[in-house]
Structure 1
Amino acid sequence: MKILQKILLMLALLLPLGVSAERIKDLASIQGVRDNQLIGYGLVVGLDGSGDQTTQTPFTVQSVISMLSNMGVNLPPTTTLQLKNVAAVTVTATLPPFARLGQTIDVTVSSVGNAKSLRGGTLVMAPLKGADGQVYAMAQGSLLVGGAGASSGGSKTQVNHLSVGIISGGATVERAVPTALGQGDSIMLNLNKMDFTTASRIAEAINQKFGADSAVPLDGRTVQVSAPSGNARVAFVSQMENVEVEPAAGAAKVIINARTGSVVMNQTVTLDDCAVSHGSLTVVIKTENTVSQPGMLSGGETEKVANSNIDIKASDGKILTLKRGVSLGDVVKSLNAIGATPQDLLVILQAMKSAGALHADLEII
């Protein structure tokens, strides 16, 4: 029995794996359902002598005077403030879709001046505005700074950043952003990546699920979907998001990190016959097409088979030969085996691309 189980397991491992499908919610988003960025300016008080140096940051003093004036405290014009426990900061947040009045969102507080640390500080009420200049939230609360630092006798040590902190649930939504989800007789799906094949497959999957002519691809980025109105639209969108679609294979691309020598490629990268010589390295790629004749009883068809040889020679006479299909991975692996530098890889791949032998887009990071 155990032997039979082992045989079945081996057969299962030999079977080809199917292409995994993805949900529509992972491939596209609904037009109009989006985040909105908010930004504001404020003061952090209660610092332990680690605030802005007011002689170098006059805007901090002006902000303190303005805040005190709004609270009914009027200082003489000749007053000189020497502040150590106050820091001017920018406050940023992301307003999620369908956020309602009274809900709280997280905020990030970052120092604007030369404060040494925001640890232990409290953000004074600061309005957060959107791109239209309207106030959408009010932020206030105690900061949580993940870093730590200490200094003594001219020596200083620090872990992580001390000039940035967060306030969990530190802003209260004061204005809602209207969304057009329930308006009209259709919704628009915006693909995360432009691809005509994927857009067509999404439309076909939706039509199979909800009936013909339910979805129409408008272009490589947008799919128009007919949807019921009213409260039924939410249930419709929920079912539509979980429809699985097999996305199209991405464009052939090779990503090269010139600093580390890392080379990452996808499965659609192909090579043609070519010969590349760079310094003491020589790369020869040759493909010979043969015809495979199946047996009469197998019921198969005659197919062309590409037998490829890759020879890489160095000045010391070392030769590496790979008898496989034309694969860029084999070329890169062989170059690394004989000590090619990241710059060698970069130059060779660029030469292959210029000669038309490398069918892929090169992206250097």
Structure 2
Amino acid sequence: MSLTLKCLISACLLLLSERSEAVPLMDLVDIEGIRGNQLIGYGLVVGLDGSGDKSQVKFTSQSMTNLVKQFGVNLPPDVDPKLKNVAAVMVTANLPAFYSAGQTVDVTVASMGDAKSLRGGQLLLTSLHGIDGEVYALAQGALVVGGLKAQGASGSSVAVNSANSGLIPNGASVERMVPSDFSERSDVMLNIRQPSFQTASRLLEALDERFGKGTATALNATKVSLRAPVSSNQRVNFIAMLETLDIQPGRARPKVVFNSRTGTVVVGEGVRVKAAAVSHGSLTVTLSEAPQVSQPGALAGGETTVVPRSDVAVEQQQKPMFAWPEGASLQGIIDTVNSLGATPDDVMSILQALEKAGALNAELIVI
């Protein structure tokens, strides 16, 4: 095989590898001005089978009293209705960009008081407000609750997931569109989700190649500005063309994520270790109480007493030192840790010590 043919094959393989790593542009960036908007509201859930808020939750009875007044029912001011089938809830929703009146969105309902369960409840008409205080949607409907809680007369109970929150699919009707300046701006701003100068540079090259030189301007490692058409039809087509682009992202620093609450350890691809020797053992202290009864003699005149007795045992596991070679890969790290039978806490301790020693080229994140 000639040298020229070998070079050609190598170049083709390199191009294929680069293309295989390319990802859609919209997986890497967000378009400034196109985002969801959080909505929130306060409402009441009725129809509960005795699992609603108790009488000590005053705002539930006050809300219900104010509600029935709108229907001509006036309660004396000193009367507490003591409702058991009603619960005060907070209602939240996410309103996507460009949604207009008449479209529907999902809503999440969560209890505010001491209700035992929202299962079987019906959310009454609730207005959902934006950060500006304006009403953007109205929510109402039957709740879908995935959790379950049951309690017996003796006080024993069993719970599966959470029964104090639920979902209403398409439960809110949009009443007003959130204003946006997207169609009025002279440019389209792309915000890179994982800031990287390499990603910004490659994005700039791909956009200039597709739309012409000078179309894109990289402002920094996060923002890339595009000259966009003024016409709404052309701008929509322009964004649609952006969605078809594939970009090869720049290299990101490998990460190791620890969840201290659940003991979960996630080691990302690309994590490497330098040559290092590690020894990790555990110390076990066992404390047991075995009280003894001291009985005096028949004519001694003493009293029978209980004498405490404690047994303390200390055991330290002897584990051999192991070594990682230079540039050990993720699979090598996993194989070594698995061969030791290490727990997630052990893995966390080992990787943290490696990072402190400068032998781990990864970012440690504890959540």
User: What TM-score range do you get, normalising by the shorter chain?
Assistant: 0.7 to 0.9
Match of 1:362 in 2: 364
The CA deviation string for residues 78-133 of structure 1, in whole angstroms up to 9 with x for no partner, is 22212111111111111111010121111111111111222222111111111111
Cα pair 1:254 1:266 within 8 Å, conserved: no
**Mapped partners of 1:98, 1:261: distance in 2:** 39
Name the TM-score, length of structure 2 as normaliser. Answer: 0.77
**Mapped partners of 1:335, 1:78: distance in 2:** 68
Q: 1:173 and 1:20, CA in 2 relative to 1: closer, same or farther beyond 3 A? A: same
Aligned-partner residue type, residue 264 of structure 1? V
Q: Verify: 1:98 aligned to 2:72, yes or no.
A: no
Q: 1:343 and 1:238, CA in 2 relative to 1: closer, same or farther beyond 3 A? A: same
**Mapped partners of 2:150, 2:278: distance in 1:** 56
Tell me how far 1:218 sits from its aligned partner: 0.9
Q: Which moved more, 1:256-265 or 1:223-232?
A: 256-265
Residue from 248, 262, 267 that aligns with 1:264: 267
Cα pair 2:38 2:130 within 8 Å, conserved: yes
Written as runs of structure 1 = structure 2, the 5 A alignment for 1:289-300 is none
Written as runs of structure 1 = structure 2, the 5 A alignment for 1:169-248 is 169-230=170-231, 231-248=233-250
**Mapped partners of 2:46, 2:343: distance in 1:** 53
Q: Which SS does the other structure have where 1:68 is aligned?
A: helix
Tell me how far 1:60 sits from its aligned partner: 0.6
Match of 1:291 in 2: none
Written as runs of structure 1 = structure 2, the 5 A alignment for 1:1-365 is 18=17, 19-54=20-55, 56-154=56-154, 155-230=156-231, 231-256=233-258, 260=263, 262=265, 264-267=267-270, 269-278=271-280, 325-327=327-329, 329-365=331-367
Q: Which moved more, 1:240-249 or 1:76-85?
A: 76-85
Q: Which SS does the other structure have where 2:98 is aligned?
A: coil
Tell me how far 1:335 sits from its aligned partner: 4.0
Aligned-partner residue type, residue 85 of structure 2? N
Q: Which moved more, 1:270-279 or 1:102-111?
A: 270-279
The CA deviation string for residues 185-244 of structure 1, in whole angstroms up to 9 with x for no partner, is 211011111111111111211111111111111111111011111211001100112100
Q: 1:136 and 1:332, CA in 2 relative to 1: closer, same or farther beyond 3 A? A: same
Cα pair 1:253 1:363 within 8 Å, conserved: yes
Q: Which moved more, 1:333-342 or 1:236-245?
A: 333-342
Cα pair 1:21 1:246 within 8 Å, conserved: yes
Name the TM-score, length of structure 1 as normaliser. Answer: 0.78
Tell me how far 1:340 sits from its aligned partner: 4.2
Q: 1:93 and 1:325, CA in 2 relative to 1: closer, same or farther beyond 3 A? A: closer
Aligned-partner residue type, residue 265 of structure 1? G
The CA deviation string for residues 122-163 of structure 1, in whole angstroms up to 9 with x for no partner, is 111111111111111111122222234444443544433222
**Mapped partners of 1:159, 1:340: distance in 2:** 31
Q: 1:315 and 1:159, CA in 2 relative to 1: closer, same or farther beyond 3 A? A: closer
Q: Which SS does the other structure have where 2:52 is aligned?
A: coil
Q: Structure 2 stretches of 5 or more lacking a match? A: 1-12, 283-316
**Mapped partners of 1:88, 1:166: distance in 2:** 15
The CA deviation string for residues 310-330 of structure 1, in whole angstroms up to 9 with x for no partner, is xxxx967x7878878544642
Q: Which moved more, 1:71-80 or 1:254-263?
A: 254-263
The CA deviation string for residues 161-194 of structure 1, in whole angstroms up to 9 with x for no partner, is 2221221221111121112221132110111111
Q: State the Cα RMSD in Å.
A: 2.7
Cα pair 1:332 1:345 within 8 Å, conserved: no
**Mapped partners of 2:161, 2:323: distance in 1:** 49
Number of residue pairs matched?
315
**Mapped partners of 1:261, 1:114: distance in 2:** 32
Q: 1:261 and 1:26, CA in 2 relative to 1: closer, same or farther beyond 3 A? A: closer
Cα pair 1:261 1:345 within 8 Å, conserved: no
Aligned-partner residue type, residue 252 of structure 1? P
**Mapped partners of 1:121, 1:195: distance in 2:** 48
Tell me how far 1:248 sits from its aligned partner: 1.1
**Mapped partners of 1:136, 1:323: distance in 2:** 60
Cα pair 2:263 2:345 within 8 Å, conserved: no
Q: Which SS does the other structure have where 1:99 is aligned?
A: coil
Tell me how far 1:44 sits from its aligned partner: 1.1
Q: 1:113 and 1:229, CA in 2 relative to 1: closer, same or farther beyond 3 A? A: same
Aligned-partner residue type, residue 252 of structure 2? G
Q: Structure 1 stretches of 5 or more lacking a match? A: 1-14, 281-313
Q: Which SS does the other structure have where 2:203 is aligned?
A: helix
Tell me how far 1:47 sits from its aligned partner: 1.8
